[in-house]
Amino acid sequence: MGFWIPFVAVVLADQWSKAYIRSNFAVGESMQIIGEWLQLVYRENPGAAFGMLAGARWLFISISTVSIALAMLLYSRLSSFGTPSRVMVPALGLVAGGALGNLVDRVRQATVTDFIYVKHFPAVFNIADSAIVIGSIILGIMLVTYTYRSGQSGGI
């Protein structure tokens, strides 16, 4: 699948969905999708997860920019070593695409549009957030698995 397909797919899906929500909902408005379990709830988030560090726009712009650059650098390094991992490369694309999706919001409007609400989950989120979390979990599992296997074989 490579890096670019998930990267572009996440950015496009994220930006399209946010534009749809901003055009069709008022801030705070909600719509049930699957009863109370899954809803669209339009929020503008000036901070990070759970609204933490609201007002630290330039910090988040910097972190997003560095994250995208690091993911692309790691992808290019992996590619230069031969056949890159079929799991790690798309995971990097998910993380970078999610970071770019939220970066576009922060640069354009100083907040990030969130709209996905899942019952019993403490935050409203968006497609970019989901991609970052899924990609990070995959990368974390790969790191733990690699570290475990290296330890088993006497490596670092």
87: amino acid identity, one letter: V
Instruction: Name the catalytic one among 129, 131, 132, 139.
Output: 129
Non-local CB neighbours of 11 within 8 Å, separated by 6+ positions: 97, 100, 101, 104
Instruction: Name the catalytic one among 103, 105, 114, 125.
Output: 114
Q: Quick check: is 129 catalytic?
A: yes
Helices 57-80, 88-109: crossing angle, 10 deg rounding: 150
Complete edge-to-edge strand list for the sheet that includes strand 30-34? 30-34, 38-45, 112-118
Question: Rounded distance, CA 82 to CA 71, Å?
Answer: 17
Catalytic residues: 114, 129
